[in-house]
């Protein structure tokens, strides 16, 4: 939903826009791209566009408002031509970071990579006085050279029959940017909606589920951050040709309660462009919940309602609807006042 310009008082509107305009140029965009890579990744993930430079421009233009930056980038994406659809196999992710909460020792080992997970989270006031450090772009810019492709933890669980094999129907994935989301949604449409969802909303839904308001409390089988090769079919031979790489974060969560069918563990999947670990983990949880991983739960939860979750997780839709309250509503409010006055007069006239 996009609530945009108000007609009338154009000079005042233009002056307001000028006051709220971007406060920086090329140097600011360069600084955002270099020093705020996680914010840039969040904008790219929610916009459904991988282009760090454009995301940095959108973030700068929006003065740090992530929802506005996502809106700008989605709008720009809608003007671009669509070409060949790329394919990717996440088994080919070249990992910069790879951890598993399910096992201490996994084939290939734990790869901690760059993370704040294991340090003390204390404010450093001295940071403002030190010279700028050279940014470490591990996992932000695609570069697969010299790194190892690691086997997936869930594949070992599947080999043992503990996790069901993926659905191999081979049907083409739905594209919710071209066809409106319908309910019940296909899994591909659901994953797209979650991948483009607002990080905070996804985290809140997943947190509510973990606290007991949902049916699924999983273990993170694997979380990996790395570069994912993209391929297209060669127009003459039909063979896959690598056309580039993008950084992604992938999470796979397995459930603690076996499904009734086949006695396998339930599983949820999350994958987003860039390094957005919290969102990928939350996405995996919500994918499992919405997929009915535990249909025999003893209670109904709104978190299992696909339409409720997917309709409210989109940050652009939410921001547009909430912020439209700032636009003029004098006609509808006058109607409310007239109705209240009429009721009060009717009550006063009743003996």
Peptide bond into 230 cis (omega under 30): no
Do 221 and 100 contact (CB within 8 A), yes or no? yes
Residues 6+ apart with CB under 8 A from 57: 29
What pTM was computed for the model?
0.84
DSSP 8-state symbol, 209: I
**pLDDT (tens place) for every residue of the chain, 351 residues total:** 444 544 557 787 777 777 776 677 888 999 999 889 999 999 999 999 999 999 999 999 998 999 999 999 999 998 988 877 888 888 888 888 999 998 988 888 898 888 888 888 888 888 888 887 766 654 444 454 446 678 889 888 888 888 888 776 667 788 888 888 888 888 899 999 999 999 999 999 999 999 988 888 889 999 999 999 999 888 888 888 898 899 999 999 998 665 555 677 888 999 999 999 999 999 999 999 998 776 665 567 889 889 999 999 998 888 888 888 888 888 888 999 999 999 888 887 766
In the chain, where does DSSP find H-type helix?
Answer: 10-19, 26-35, 37-47, 52-61, 66-77, 153-159, 187-195, 199-208, 277-290, 306-312, 315-323, 330-349
The widest CA-to-CA distance across the chain, in whole angstroms, is 89
């Amino acid at each position: 939903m996009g609530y945009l310009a108000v007609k009338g008082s154009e000079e005042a509107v233009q002056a307001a826009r000028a006051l709220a305009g971007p406060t920086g140029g090329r140097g600011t965009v360069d600084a955002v791209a270099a020093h705020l890579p996680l914010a840039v990744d969040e904008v790219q993930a929610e916009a459904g566009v991988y282009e760090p430079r454009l995301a940095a421009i959108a973030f700068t233009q929006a003065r740090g408002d992530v929802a506005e930056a996502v809106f700008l980038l989605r709008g720009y994406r809608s003007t671009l031509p669509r070409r060949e659809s790329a394919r990717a196999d996440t088994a080919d992710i070249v990992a910069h970071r790879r951890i598993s909460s399910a096992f201490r020792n996994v084939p290939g080992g734990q790869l901690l990579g760059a993370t704040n997970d294991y340090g003390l989270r204390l404010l450093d006031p001295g940071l403002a006085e030190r010279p700028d450090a050279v940014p470490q772009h591990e996992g932000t810019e695609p570069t697969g050279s010299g790194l190892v492709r690691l086997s997936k933890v869930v594949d070992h669980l599947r080999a043992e029959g503990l996790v069901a094999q993926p659905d191999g129907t081979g049907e083409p994935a739905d594209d919710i940017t071209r066809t409106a989301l319908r309910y019940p949604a296909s899994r591909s449409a659901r994953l797209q909606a979650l991948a483009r969802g607002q990080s905070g909303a996804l985290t809140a839904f997943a947190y509510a589920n973990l606290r007991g308001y949902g049916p699924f409390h999983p273990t993170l089988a694997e979380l990996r951050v790395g570069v994912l090769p993209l391929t297209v079919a060669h127009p003459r031979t039909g063979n896959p040709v690598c056309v580039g790489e993008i950084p992604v974060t992938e999470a796979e969560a397995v459930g603690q309660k076996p499904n009734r069918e086949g006695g396998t563990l339930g599983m949820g999947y999350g994958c987003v462009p860039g390094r957005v670990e919290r969102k990928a983990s939350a996405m995996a949880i919500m994918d499992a919940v919405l997929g009915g991983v535990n249909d025999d739960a003893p209670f109904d939860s709104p978190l299992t309602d696909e339409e409720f979750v997917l309709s409210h997780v989109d940050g652009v839709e939410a921001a547009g609807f909430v912020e439209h309250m700032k636009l003029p509503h004098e006609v509808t409010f006058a109607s409310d006042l007239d109705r209240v006055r009429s009721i009060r007069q009717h009550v006063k006239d009743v003996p």
